[in-house]
A and B are shown apart, each in its own frame.
Chain A
Amino acid sequence: MVNAIEVDGIAKRFTIHHERSQTLKERILHPRSGSSEEFDALVDINFVVDQGETLGIVGHNGSGKSTLLKCICGVLQPTTGQIRLRGNLAALLELGAGFQHELSGRDNVYLYGSMLGFTHKMVDQIFDDVVAFSELEHFIDTPVKFYSSGMYVRLAFAVAVNVDPDILVVDEVLAVGDERFQAKCIDRIRHFQREGRTILLVTHQADTVRAICDRAIVLDQGHMVADGPVTDSLRIFRERLLGDVADHRPAGAGSVRIDGVSSDTGAFEVRHGAGMSIVVSFTSDRAVSGNLVLEVFTRTGLLVSRNDAQSAPVTLRPGTNRVGVAFSNVPLLDGVYDLNVGLVEPEGATVIAWSEKAASLQVLYDGRAGGVVAIDSSITQS
């Protein structure tokens, strides 16, 4: 097997200017003004990507994944190290970055193609496919300044995937376009995989990685902390996320306080479909009763469920109280979920105590299904 990409000891150091002195006057008058500090965006990254492999690069914001990708694409020069690439590369870093607003879609296809390193003749051959893929037949001779943002992105994506790259680099661009176009993009990526092309995908959406990639590496603060099968890498990725929020626990309101949430096993980790129970600790200076509210959010802020246990009010005594909550079956899919816990008055909306992100729940799931919850289905054919 041939290595399509070899990343050898890459490091990137940025100089951050706190006060940019950019004009000549400022530089002459205050030669020392404005402190600057060095920032290591990437530290000693090594990996190889086989030809035909689809590699996911995951990490949260600021982990250095975009910097790494820019180095691989040649947009950035690494401070040290070397990257060796075999075959031509098309990068979907920022779709339509090279478009000239005054020019028509047609002219931009050729211009963008040549920016990606393809000749006029090669673009000629794929031009019809590009137009068909972008679904912009009627607008191809309109200046792109009149395009909607969706049309803009569709055209750029259509060029990049049709220019016949050996290596395709995709950076979070799948989040654009409507759902139908997204599906089309994913479909095209799968098509590329079948053709044995090498794909590099950068995202912080674990779902996309699980659905598409063969292997994943995890970046955290510029260091590569994992390189292996998708499920293993994603587990490490999530543990890093959990570590970040461990000390985030705001105090409750008034004299009734939520001290914390603990689980019976000590870890907020549950397998999909399994049960678990948690204990919410309150400190109260009076006797009070209310309903326990439990909210489950995804990391992207989607409310998965809210349950206010209307039928089972809780009565707190002065002092420390422990309230148990048992889940018989967690239908959630792989991912990290935030739990908000609160106590509200039985009649309605008044909040007695509230704890935002009281705990983070990690759900483990080994299947291929994507999304938030599993819906059981059986397939029959008539």
Chain B
Amino acid sequence: MGDVPPTVRRSLAASPVRIVSARPSLRTRLINLFERRELLHSLITSDIRIKYKGSALGLFWSMLSPALTLATYYLVFSVFLKNGIPDFVVYLFAGLIVWNMFQSAVSTATGVIVDRAGLVKKVSFPREILALSNVGASVIYFVIQIAVLGVFLAIIGYAPAWGFLWLLPVSFAALYLLTASIAVVMSAVTVYLRDVRHLMDVVLQLWFWVSPVVYSYENSIAPALRARGLTALYFINPMTPIILTLQRIFYVHTTVRSTTTGLTLHILPTWSLATFALVNGALLVFAGLLFLVALVIFGRLEGNFESEL
């Protein structure tokens, strides 16, 4: 405090000009988002801190709880509920990691603008950052769960498909953009239609069961569609290829021999690495475009937040 700094007469001539106008262009939105990445970082860390505030183990819980979940599934599916699929817990957890990220981000982001109306009405920042901070927190849990799975695989001596591992970042990028797009749009829609929050719970549940997380791809309606030449229809759900990719990376086997009946079970599509790469690449491009569309939609809806909150 105290003394006047040496640069008493500040020169603003060199400072960049910021423009506030009716509807910022997409390019301006992206620049603003990038410039406020520090805020995104602060919001994510404060979200996580608040979540574990007051618990004795703190952030350790974010590792402990997926580890305990994994241990529970291991116990259930290898001892009590033998469905014949060997190492089913690996298959299940690989899919669940993807789903958890999507589900937790979208369900928290849906209400975030409404919940933080006080902030939205008083402080200036790109509003989509609020939704993105929920996605960011989910990313952290995603990474932690991947690490927990890795440790688990090392303990039981299960080798992932090393050749496919490089698909993980591609698949993750697509997952991130897809999740962020839906989170951003839903956060704005909820401002106008508060019901969407409750609707979203149901939609997410339904979505979970049409994605091949707890059942195998080959046990779904996919083979029936393929017989009619409609395989593409199954991939309208963009979560499917991401889930399949992680299952392929960590579970590895496409066909296994049932531990109970001895029959051959088809678990995953028998795609080559190139096919997986192509599918993931295409999805990444699609998700990238979707994200831009989401920002445009958010920009349209954002203008009237003040009178609706």
Contact = CB atoms under 8 A, between A and B. Distances in A.
Interface of A: 2, 4, 14-17, 22-25, 27, 51-52, 70-89, 91, 93-94, 97-98, 100, 102-103, 107, 110-111, 114-120, 129, 132-133, 143, 162, 166, 191, 194-197
A75 B122 contact: yes
18 contacts: A22-B308, A51-B12, A74-B18, A74-B124, A77-B22, A82-B21, A85-B17, A86-B18, A87-B15, A89-B18, A91-B123, A93-B122, A98-B119, A100-B46, A114-B36, A115-B119, A116-B123, A120-B41
Interface in B186-201: 192-196, 199
A133 to B, nearest CB: 6
A166 B12 contact: yes
A91 B304 CA distance: 21
A6 to B, nearest CB: 9
Contacts, number: 146
B155 interface: no
Given A100-B46, A103-B49, A197-B10, A71 B123 contact: no
A72 to B, nearest CB: 7
A22 B39 contact: no
A79 B22 contact: yes
Interface stretch (B1-9, B86-94, B162-170, B227-235): B1-9
Contacts of A84: 17-20
Contacts of A15: 304, 307
Contacts of B307: 14-17
Contacts of A91: 123-124
A100 B115 CA distance: 13
Interface residues of B, number: 48
Contacts of A100: 46, 50
Contacts of A94: 118, 122
Interface string B26-42: 00000000011011011
A81 B20 CA distance: 9
B42 A23 contact: no
A214 to B, nearest CB: 16
Nearest to B9: A196
Contacts of B226: none
A350 to B, nearest CB: 51
Nearest to A158: B1
Nearest to B192: A22
B39 A115 contact: yes
A22 B196 CA distance: 10
B17 A97 contact: no
Contacts of A120: 38, 41-42
A85 B20 contact: yes
B125 to A, nearest CB: 6
Contacts of A85: 17-20
B251 to A, nearest CB: 39
Contacts of B303: 77
Given A83-B21, A86-B15, A91-B124, A133 B1 contact: yes
B12 A75 contact: no
A72 B15 CA distance: 17
B117 to A, nearest CB: 10
A78 B15 contact: no
A119 B4 contact: no
Given A14-B306, A23-B195, 9 more contacts: A2-B12, A72-B20, A77-B303, A78-B22, A81-B21, A98-B122, A115-B39, A115-B123, A117-B35
Given A4-B12, A76-B306, A166-B10, A97 B18 contact: no
A269 to B, nearest CB: 39
For the complex of A and B, 7 pairs with smallest distance between CB atoms: A97-B122, A74-B124, A24-B195, A114-B42, A83-B20, A87-B15, A94-B122
